[in-house]
Amino acid sequence: MTARLLKRDVPLHHLNTFGLPARAAWFAAITTPAQLAALIAMPEWRYLERFVLGGGSNLILTGDFDGLVLHVRISGRQLIADEENAWIVRAGAGENWHDFVCWTLEQGWPGLENLALIPGTVGAAPVQNIGAYGLEMAERFQALEAVDLTTGERITFDRRACRFGYRDSVFKQEAGGRYLITAVTFRLPKPWQPLTRYADVASELETKRIAHPTARDIADAVIAIRSRKLPDPTRIGNVGSFFKNPIVDGAVFLRLAAGFPELPHYQQADGRVKLAAGWLIERCGWKGKQLGPVGVYEQQALVLVNGGGARGEDVLRLANAIQQSVQAMFGVTLEPEPVML
Ligand code: EPU
């Protein structure tokens, strides 16, 4: 079975939404946990460097990869419990995230509507704790199943074990690369409460004169906003936000606000302040600008776009130039958000 599973020298340009050219020395598409077990049992396994690939929508390929790419294509989705206070829904890691969100809404299980149209897979969602329009995935997460790639052991992680943070989890930190997530279970609370506190969502609903939105109305509003502000990755190569919104100390914020009173900011529970990276980048004059084949999207300065034929080094060159500008003008360090390989 392993001989049929393993492919050599596989191009990855169609498997990353930035459309970057790179090749994997070894490649295997995983549709069942049993296939993974067969690979882990191979004698060569421990000598191969591994990389787990989902939808490739939060990934920058900086060059060819000399190891084994494990492309997660595990499917399946079902209601596993209809409890008094929640619907418990489970999905295979390879399921498309947006299709999964739409399916839950069609079934009458609301709760994920604010996360509509986020590219990528269900299995990648916990890795960076996807979030948008006033909701983070962590708030709807119950548990995930994973395989430890060093031992082959199957492990369940609850919310605490995942150590979710802003665009962060244990899978981006010390557990990075060690586990392959096979399925995720969500807890969608009853009764459902609409989340419309994000200004863009509130104004979109107001424009449509919807005072009492259904979950589908919110999904449609989010889809409309995303379609206006973010490039469609099937048409223009991109990975969504390229940098995290930086979180600075209160004292740093006060110093910045004195010079830039209109700086958008979000107070954090711990006294620190989150700044809008898109605004900082725009103020440095980068919005709509191009450096070689990579550009800064004209509707959202936090998004870098492939103008055609970009390579990993072109993306890094523009990202570095933006980081230097923001550092020079504001003294703030921008941290890239996607995974770099
Ligand atoms: N802004 C500008 N200029 C820009 C872009 C933004 O001035 O070019 C300002 C906006 O006017 C607003 C503020 O910055 O005051 C925030 O902008 P926006 O609402 O568009 O959100 P964001 O902070 O840029 C974050 C997430 C997005 C998510 C949206 C909506 C991160 C890194 N990004 O973007 O997530 O969709 O909020 O919740 O947290 C992603 O992670 O890939 C992603 C797209």
57 lines ligand 1 (CB under 6 A): no
Which of 196, 279, 334, 335 has most ligand 1 atoms within 8 Å of its beta carbon, as the pocket-test mutant? 279
282 lines ligand 1 (CB under 6 A): yes
pLDDT at 4 (0 to 100) = 82
Query: Ligand 1, closest atom to CA 130?
Result: 41
User: 120, 97 in Cβ contact below 8 A?
Assistant: yes
The 10s digit of each residue's pLDDT in 234-279 is 999 999 999 999 999 999 999 999 999 999 999 999 999 999 999 9
Query: Ligand 1, closest atom to CA 199?
Result: 19
Catalytic residue among 50, 73, 90, 241: 241
Say yes or no to pLDDT of 197 above 80.
Answer: yes
The 10s digit of each residue's pLDDT in 293-309 is 999 999 999 999 999 99
- Name the residue at shortest CA distance from atom 43 of ligand 1: 241
Say yes or no to pLDDT of 2 above 80.
Answer: no
Q: What is the mean pLDDT of residues 213-224?
A: 98
Cα distances from 195 to residues 127, 208, 217, in angstroms, run: 23, 16, 11
Percent of the chain with pLDDT over 90: 96
276 C-alpha to ligand 1 centroid (Å)? 7
278 C-alpha to ligand 1 centroid (Å)? 6
Q: What is the mean pLDDT of residues 53-66?
A: 97
134 C-alpha to ligand 1 centroid (Å)? 11
Q: What is the mean pLDDT of residues 75-85?
A: 98
Say yes or no to pLDDT of 167 above 80.
Answer: yes
List phi, psi (to 5°) of 105: -65, -40
Q: What is the mean pLDDT of residues 131-152?
A: 97
pLDDT at 1 (0 to 100) = 60
Say yes or no to pLDDT of 226 above 70.
Answer: yes
**Cα–Cα distance for residue pair 26/188, rounded to 1 Å:** 39
Q: Is the dihedral of CA 48, 49, 54, 59 positive or negative?
A: negative
Catalytic residue among 73, 167, 187, 226: 167
Longest dimension (CA), the chain: 64
Whether residue 337 lies in the annotated active site: yes
Label the pairing between strands 7-11 and 59-60: unpaired
Q: pLDDT confidence of 195, banded at 50, 70, 90? A: very high
Q: What is the mean pLDDT of residues 94-108?
A: 98
Distance of CA 46 to the CA centre of its chain: 28
133 lines ligand 1 (CB under 6 A): yes
Q: What is the mean pLDDT of residues 127-152?
A: 97
Whether residue 283 lies in the annotated active site: no
User: 39, 27 in Cβ contact below 8 A?
Assistant: no
Q: What is the mean pLDDT of residues 308-330?
A: 98
- Please provide the average confidence, as pLDDT, over all residues in the chain: 96
287 lines ligand 1 (CB under 6 A): yes
pLDDT at 232 (0 to 100) = 96
pLDDT at 283 (0 to 100) = 98
